[in-house]
Structure 1
Amino acid sequence: MPAETESDTPMETNTANEAQEDIVVVSSSDAEITVVSEPSKSETTTTASIAPKNKLAKVTDLNLLPWVEKYRPAVLGDLISHQDITSTIQKFIDMDQLPHLLFYGPPGTGKTSTILALVKQLYPRDYQSQVLELNASDDRGIGVVRERIVGFASTRTMFNKKFKFVILDEADAMTNDAQNALRRVMEKYTENTRFCLICNYLSKIIPAIQSRCTRFRFGPLTAEQMMPRIRHVIESEKVTVTEEGLNAILSLATGDMRRSLNILQSCATAYKTVDEESVYVCTGNPSKQDINTIVQWLLNKEFSACVDGIFDFCSTKGYSLQDIITQVHLYCVKIDFPHAVKCKLLSKMADIEERLLAGASEFLQLTALVASFTTARHEAIELAAAS
């Protein structure tokens, strides 16, 4: 009997110690360590507290995204323009005969959005394993073509019979050696991989690659095409925008959907109400009233007074001569000058803009601009007197 009592006592003591030992629960998602005394209650509490944190994190990440990415189309049907291109690509998909693609055109016209919507529609579940996306920030030398692209294109997924997809964004930044190496890769792995090249300038893509792709040009968007999408963003973000402010955004965007959304987001962040004045102030572009004042000076003032007035005006407002020439050009087309005089004036303005881009002095080019208008004005008067 004493032996049994001694054997029972240690067992009870060990059980009690084990029950009193703290259990450490490590949460990998929150990177926290919680010390709990009761296992069953702690598991329930920990699980319940983690779930809402993850949900809040997703919502916060979505709200922190730029509006350009937040409202990027997810499927081909969400695209707002180029219906002929999207319908043609959709027919390729339905017939299971998708060729190599080459998208080119100005920035912000939907090239990247179209191909991303396409691959998300093709690979809703295994996007990471089936799609290789290389952007302008990646190395574009011949080594990338021989290593990353060939390594990706030469393998096939075991349980997926679909072809893989390689997206080369900003392909006009690739070297000629890389493009020459790429054309052989495109031919060799056609059964397993499709390529989509995206660029702004078609002339920078070698003819050998152009002939291997089906080309689609994405032109600038019209105001009628951009308006519904911008209004959708305005309603979703609950932004107060006037009609004049909306027209100013469309005017400055010049067919670039990305630029219009960036202007809208920056103005909505800086001002409670997005009107015409706030749009021009936020973007640093001269307003229509300012350009109208400058054009009136160019057409009516004497040379010295006009140069001094425009120089002081630009210094006070912080405008660059490049922006002024871009806006004044639109007025020049509407000025009632003889055609010969107008052609000379526009040609001189183009030369001034070229010299500005090359790094010439703004003050010297400003005097050249005023001199061009003064000469055009005198020539127009002489032609009118002669007739």
Structure 2
Amino acid sequence: MEEEIPITVETKQKQQNIPWVEKYRPENLDNVISHEYIVATIKKFIEEDKKLPNLLFYGPPGTGKTSLIVALAKQLYGKNYKQLVLELNASDDRGIDVVREQIKTFASTANFGMVGKGTKLIILDEADSMTNQAQFALRRIIEKYSSNARFCMICNYVSKIIPALQSRCTRFKFKHIPYQDAKLRIAQICNAENLKYKNSGIEAVFKLCDGDMRRVVNMLQSLSLQGYGSDEQVEITDELVYKFTGNATPKDIENIINTMNNKSISESYEIIQSYQVEKGISLQVMLKEISLFLMNTSYPSLALEFLVKRLADLEYRMSINCDEKVQTLSLISAFTEVRQLLRRP
């Protein structure tokens, strides 16, 4: 194994048949990785006589928005969490009836005997899926029951939240978790689950999940099952990650591009077909990886512009279920055209 990363995370007692995204969700604010400014601001809010404002968390998926508010709620309410917190996924419960019935009923009832912690918390995940009618109804409830409840709305696209709701909340923007922070948490999970790993494997997992920590943890759990029923312990390497997910390695993409730059159309087609059959690499995956790879090549600007446009056209055709074999030939012909263009005096 490559360099060891120390274990400092507090993990839950191991349980069977539980998704790792829940098993390793932070229990308090101190266990939340990255977002130091947001965590510090939230801590300041709750340290000042529990004066928590209404909150609006927005940003890309898998960046810790839900984990942070759940960790905050568990830290605030402890064993009373289930009685004082209402969690709703607004993508499912997004109509005005939910606002008028569930949310209003929960928010309107005061909680006695809980000195300093009597204010309830309502978490609305994926709030950008709520209808405008429901959002307008929610605006009035937030104002009317401000003495009984606080709201936390979570969304990916803040532009889909009406301005009237945005103005009633303290907004926090979540960014993708940096690789160095994510690397530590991934290694901690692997160590807690007795998973062998290489740093190259961790990096491949993070890259393929586009920085989405929820996807990262789900992929780790799936990879851990590769050795199920075998005496041999699985080791997470970049080779295993790419093979398991059906993605092309950087070396595969380099070989495919070199093939299209130097071989005939028929030879290139046979070689690309072998990658698709033997490694399970789809044309959609190739298009994405080739586009990213081209950004670091020395193609002249005109040739690069031509290729990017053709790749975009191909991706659109694949999205409307055009024949993959025909589009593969079209991809090869694009590179053939560029090759002929570059040979002109």
| TM-score interval (norm. to shorter) | 0.7 to 0.9
Alignment of 1:302 with 2:260, yes or no, is: no
Which of 82, 96, 119 is the aligned partner of 2:73? Answer: 119
Query: Alignment RMSD, CA only?
Result: 2.1
Alignment of 1:201 with 2:201, yes or no, is: no
1:81 corresponds in structure 2 to: 34
Alignment of 1:133 with 2:87, yes or no, is: yes
The amino acid of 2:256's aligned partner reads: I
Which of 324, 332, 335 is the aligned partner of 1:370? Answer: 332
SS in 2 for 1:160: coil
Alpha-carbon distance in 2 for matches of 1:147, 1:106: 30
Alpha-carbon distance in 2 for matches of 1:209, 1:359: 40
SS in 2 for 1:126: helix
Q: Contact 2:99–2:134 (CA<8 Å) still a contact in 1? A: yes
Alpha-carbon distance in 2 for matches of 1:286, 1:92: 46
SS in 2 for 1:336: coil
Q: Bigger CA drift: 148-157 or 346-355?
A: 346-355
Q: Deviations over 1:120-142 (max 9, x none)?
A: 11111311121100025743211
Q: Structure 1 or 2: larger helix share?
A: 1
The amino acid of 1:330's aligned partner reads: L
1:348 corresponds in structure 2 to: 310
SS in 2 for 1:286: coil
Alpha-carbon distance in 1 for matches of 2:172, 2:333: 44
| Structure 1: segments with no counterpart, 5+ residues | 1-57
The amino acid of 2:22's aligned partner reads: E
For 1:167-316, list aligned pairs within 5 A.
167-271=123-227, 272-316=234-278
> TM-score, normalization: structure 1?
0.78
Alpha-carbon shift at residue 84 of structure 1 (Å): 0.9
The amino acid of 1:252's aligned partner reads: L
Alpha-carbon shift at residue 225 of structure 1 (Å): 0.9
Alignment of 1:332 with 2:286, yes or no, is: no
The amino acid of 1:94's aligned partner reads: E
Structure 1 residues 319 and 195, CA gap change in structure 2 (3 angstroms): same
Alpha-carbon distance in 1 for matches of 2:21, 2:205: 15
Which of 109, 112, 117 is the aligned partner of 1:158? Answer: 112
The amino acid of 2:260's aligned partner reads: L
Alpha-carbon distance in 2 for matches of 1:295, 1:318: 18
2:25 corresponds in structure 1 to: 72
Alpha-carbon distance in 2 for matches of 1:345, 1:191: 59
Alpha-carbon distance in 2 for matches of 1:361, 1:211: 49
The amino acid of 1:276's aligned partner reads: D
1:100 corresponds in structure 2 to: 54
Structure 1 residues 149 and 337, CA gap change in structure 2 (3 angstroms): same
| Structure 2: segments with no counterpart, 5+ residues | 1-11, 228-233
Alpha-carbon shift at residue 342 of structure 1 (Å): 1.5
SS in 2 for 1:324: helix
Q: Contact 1:337–1:380 (CA<8 Å) still a contact in 2? A: no
Alpha-carbon distance in 2 for matches of 1:141, 1:363: 44
SS in 2 for 1:87: helix
**Structure 1 segments (4+ residues) deviating >4 Å:** none
Alpha-carbon shift at residue 275 of structure 1 (Å): 1.9
The amino acid of 1:181's aligned partner reads: A
Q: Contact 2:91–2:127 (CA<8 Å) still a contact in 1? A: no
The amino acid of 1:93's aligned partner reads: I
Q: Contact 2:66–2:154 (CA<8 Å) still a contact in 1? A: yes
Alignment of 1:321 with 2:283, yes or no, is: yes
Q: Contact 2:91–2:129 (CA<8 Å) still a contact in 1? A: no
Q: Bigger CA drift: 139-148 or 62-71?
A: 62-71
Alpha-carbon distance in 1 for matches of 2:189, 2:301: 44
Q: Contact 1:248–1:279 (CA<8 Å) still a contact in 2? A: yes
Q: Deviations over 1:252-275 (max 9, x none)?
A: 122111222222222222132222
1:15 corresponds in structure 2 to: none
Alpha-carbon shift at residue 110 of structure 1 (Å): 0.5
Structure 1 residues 105 and 355, CA gap change in structure 2 (3 angstroms): farther
Percent of matched pairs sharing the same residue: 46
Which of 133, 136, 145 is the aligned partner of 2:99? Answer: 145
Q: Contact 2:26–2:32 (CA<8 Å) still a contact in 1? A: yes
The amino acid of 2:124's aligned partner reads: L
The amino acid of 1:274's aligned partner reads: I
> TM-score, normalization: structure 2?
0.87
Q: Deviations over 1:245-300 (max 9, x none)?
A: 22222221221112222222222221322222221222222223322221212222
Alpha-carbon shift at residue 322 of structure 1 (Å): 1.2
Q: Contact 1:266–1:282 (CA<8 Å) still a contact in 2? A: no
